[in-house]
A and B are shown apart, each in its own frame.
Chain A
Amino acid sequence: MELKRFMNVRLLATFGLAAGMITTVACSGASEAPAAPAPATPAAVTAPASSGSDSAAPTAMPAATEPAAMAESAGGHVNLLVTNIGNGKFDPLLTEGEDLKFQRIFQVALVGGAGGSELVPAVAKDWSVSEDGKIWTFTVNDGFIKAHDGNVITRDDVYFNLNSRVGAEAFELLDSGYYEPRDVALANLIEGVSKGPGDDQVQVNFKTVRLDFAFNWSENSQGASPMIVPEATMRERAGETGFEGYETDPVGIGSMKVEDFVLEQKYSFEKFDDFFWTTENGFSEDRSVTFDTLTIEVVPEPAGRLAALRSGDAQLIEANINMIGDIDSIDGASIAWQKESSYNWVVYVDCWQEELWCFPVEARQAAEHAINKDDIVNGLYSPESVNADSWAHVTPNSLGWGENLRPRAFDLDKSYELLKSIGYGGANGDDGTDANGEQISFTIYTWEAGDLPLLPDLAQMYKDFWTDGLGWDVNVSVGDAAATRQAWNNREYPGDLLVRTNEGRYDGTSITQGGYLNESIAWRAVDNWQNEPWASNTTPVVQKGLSDLNPDTRSASYNAMYEYLQDQTYWGDGFNTNVPWGLGADVASYEPWRLVPYVTAIWTLKLK
């Protein structure tokens, strides 16, 4: 009896103590949470960035957050939670990873971007390419762009940035061990970088035609290598082999400066008051942020990001379409859609090989006609998150898109007709055999992707369409992204399909060039093009399309080229996806750029 009473007292005391400790810690933990932004005088609302390319009519898109009616304030803190942050390096050439989010917070590229497509002046006020497409000339906004350490950007700084990343100094840095061979891959294609011809100009001279260099050195590109840092800043941070000191004391020219960081995990920024991109300096808009501080932190688990949004700890979170319902359920939270940020890339692998079932173009075309894209958009995804209006990387707001590139209609009769025309599918085109009467059999390789969820389910739907509609024997293999990509590169999937995601882009020059012209790239669609019946057409069509330098006709040239390539169907019709960003209850608006998968236009984020 005494024992029981003793145990009860002990039990209560133990749990009481534990509860007390947890409450104490929880309360002190809560007090560490960022304070809610203090009410402040509403700031002038800056006009949103230019809508970018007008080359195509936008498709119906989900309604984005409505900022107009919401009161906005200046000041405050933004806590941004993302899925990953790359390798954490600050040197623009050495930083790598899928998204490079923190680079875009404190750096600015040589050429500006607007809306993910249009190029606008930034550090360079003008740029042009020579008639032969090999020499790019950049004219620099010389003398008024200040870096966070007080250094001022000049033409010489731009020369330094180009020369040390793609010019002669890049090879010196390779020799010293600061760069690795992969870092100078682009430099290998360049004859040299030089100052001039004008006092405020720099030239980059390529060995071969390179029409997308300005785009690749703009804010619209995916890498960080176009980010401009003052030469003096970098030289002051010189180390044994290169600019090692920059990694501990990074300086940029962006709207925020680095305050503190824990490598690869958490980066804190503070507003930079001397940011150059203002209307006073002649720019069409003011890209200064309206809040004081920003923290960007890696939280891979969606539940963690959602919880932070729900509790008010985070103002902006990287989301995906599986999280939409959860975000909608949070009081005051909203979604900002980043349109066309990724696309679903369907690759008929190595079908230039004559012995493969997919060698005849009609077989590939038949496959496309057997896919009911409406079922996929409305059944697997939703119209607000996925659009079936593109071919491969050519989405409605990218260069060269046109109505003619919309996916082929779901039409099984057309599929049977195409198959019969090449002796496939028996008498009716539907028995699943090839011209030799053998069962058509292949595998769809895919992986789980963060930016486009349900890829394995999508592959399964493809399989069902082809199995049920055409009688083909199709398997689905879901694997690791890196391993699958590597096997594809190693040509281990001839006659199979790859269903993958890729980042959206405005200018598809490099991917088209890589896929159809560059003989050194393993994943190119047409390897031994002489073997295909359309050999006399493919290469000249791509060469012609990519060589149009006239801005007035370039889009039409690209469109004609893409129309031909779509008909060839080495790459299938696909989808593009709108990626959602979750906005906290204290965020008035955020307008991320389309056609890019990373954090953009952070200055458009306004707190209430």
Chain B
Amino acid sequence: MTAYIIRRIGEGLITLIALSFVVFGSVHLTGDPARFLLPISAEHDESVYEAQKAAYGLDKPFIVQYWNFLIKAVRLDFGNSFTARRPVQEILLERIPATVHLAIAGTILAIGIGVPLGIISAVKRDTILDRICKAFAIFGMAAPQFWVAIMLIIVFAGYWGWLPGYGRGDITGWFPAWNQIPNMLAHLILPASVLALAIIAAIMRLARSAMLEVLDSDYVKFAQVKGMSDRVVIWRHAARNALIPVITFGGISLAGLLNGSVVVEVVFAWPGVGLMLLEGVLSNNFPQVEGAIMVSGAAYILTALVVDILYGYADPRVRMN
């Protein structure tokens, strides 16, 4: 098992280094921020331009810039944002809680709704309820996030005024005060629902097919023949076994959501890493883009690593292979 863990950690590090190179290289293809950020009165004033390039360290060879970036990135130092003029690390620390809150809410919502629906769909196989659930799953996967988000905003925030359609309320950081929790939850519902929708659909289908397989197994039939109640059969025996792949998928989904959903964060003005990334891209803000992607990528790799290791513990065949 130890060898397996070491191998997986090594793979994770290699992936991270490859990601850093791709990110660093690709943002440098998007243009010259030193030129872009010059005031109009100094556009192509070469002395100001050269000084600005030097100030950003962009006057050095690409490979030197990359090495400097890599060395600093190890310490989570991504330099100063070109626009906000403060450390990207500081901005990330402000934005990560928002993204994590949203990701967790989305995952809880997805599992909380997807699993029961999947089980209901399996238990009520080929009934109208099953068909409704399947239709919902197809809709959830097919509907574009931005469209769903806008519809929810128009209906729930605009016409009905039940829920806020933008922002995070007055919440900053990780832990809101007790009296802020209702406000925080109110702001979370719509964006988390949109994030959850596609995952609900996937989880539902996964839970349904796993449940169907389990319900058809001999031990479930045996339990029923023994006269056990349906409740015990479904929840104690069938669901427990059926939900293993669902939980794994939920973990990977959480890792995906931790990357920050640019679409959902932009539409809901949710001040997370996704919105930060977009702001960085729009302003040729290299450090901000690099910081956002590296942290998101690292979060994904780390979560996937943890899931893999846990899976290795749970299923010896994985680590043997």
Which residues of A come within 8 Å of B, CB atoms? 2-4, 6-7, 10-11, 14, 18, 22, 25-26, 28-30, 32-33, 81, 87-89, 94, 96-97, 180-182, 184-186, 188-189, 262-266, 297-301, 303-308, 310-313, 482-483, 485-486, 489-490, 510-511, 514, 520-523
Contact = CB atoms under 8 A, between A and B. Distances in A.
A26 B167 contact: no
Contact of B123 (A3, A81, A89, A308): A3
B37 A182 contact: yes
Contacts of B12: none
A30 B162 contact: yes
A182 B157 contact: no
Interface of B: 30-32, 35-48, 51-52, 54-55, 81, 83-85, 94, 112-113, 116, 120, 123-124, 149-150, 153-154, 157-167, 169, 172, 182-183, 185-187, 189, 229-231, 234, 266-269, 271, 279, 282-284
A181 B43 contact: no
Contacts, number: 189
Given A483-B30, A523-B43, 10 more contacts: A25-B163, A25-B189, A28-B183, A94-B85, A181-B54, A182-B38, A182-B48, A182-B52, A300-B269, A522-B43
B163 A26 contact: yes
30 contacts: A6-B230, A11-B116, A28-B183, A29-B185, A32-B183, A87-B84, A180-B85, A181-B54, A182-B37, A182-B48, A188-B42, A189-B41, A263-B84, A299-B269, A303-B150, A303-B158, A306-B154, A306-B158, A307-B153, A307-B165, A311-B159, A313-B161, A482-B282, A486-B32, A486-B36, A489-B35, A490-B35, A514-B43, A520-B45, A522-B43
A29 B186 contact: yes
Contact of A312 (B161, B163, B269): B161
Contacts of B268: 301, 304
A365 B209 CA distance: 69
Nearest to A31: B182
Contacts of B269: 265, 297-301, 304
A301 B189 CA distance: 17
A7 B157 contact: no
A483 B150 contact: no
Contact of A32 (B113, B186, B230): B186
B278 to A, nearest CB: 9
B203 to A, nearest CB: 15
A3 B233 CA distance: 10
Contacts of A262: 172, 271
Q: Is the interface of B mostly helix, strand, loop or mixed?
A: helix
A307 B31 contact: no
Which 8 A-B pairs give the minimum distances between C-beta atoms?
A: A29-B186, A307-B158, A185-B42, A181-B51, A3-B230, A28-B182, A311-B161, A307-B157
A483 B271 CA distance: 25
A510 B284 contact: no
A185 B39 contact: yes
A32 B41 contact: no
Given A89-B85, A482-B284, A11 B120 contact: yes
A184 to B, nearest CB: 8
A7 B37 contact: no
Contacts of B85: 87, 89, 94, 180
Contacts of A521: 43-44
A326 B40 CA distance: 36
A3 B220 CA distance: 14
A268 to B, nearest CB: 9
Contacts of A307: 153-154, 157-158, 165-166
A359 B162 CA distance: 61
Nearest to A247: B86
A185 B48 contact: yes
Contact of B157 (A18, A304, A486): A304
A523 B35 CA distance: 13
Contacts of A185: 38-39, 41-42, 45, 48
Contacts of B120: 7, 11
Nearest to A185: B42
Given A307-B157, A482-B282, A482-B283, A299 B166 contact: yes
Contacts of B81: 87
B166 A297 contact: yes
B94 A186 contact: no
A33 B51 CA distance: 49
Contacts of B47: 188
Given A14-B116, A300-B266, A482-B31, A510 B41 contact: yes
Contacts of A301: 149-150, 153, 166, 266-269
A513 B235 CA distance: 77
A180 B58 CA distance: 14
Given A26-B186, A483-B30, A520 B44 contact: yes
A253 B32 CA distance: 37
Contacts of B51: 181
Contacts of B284: 482
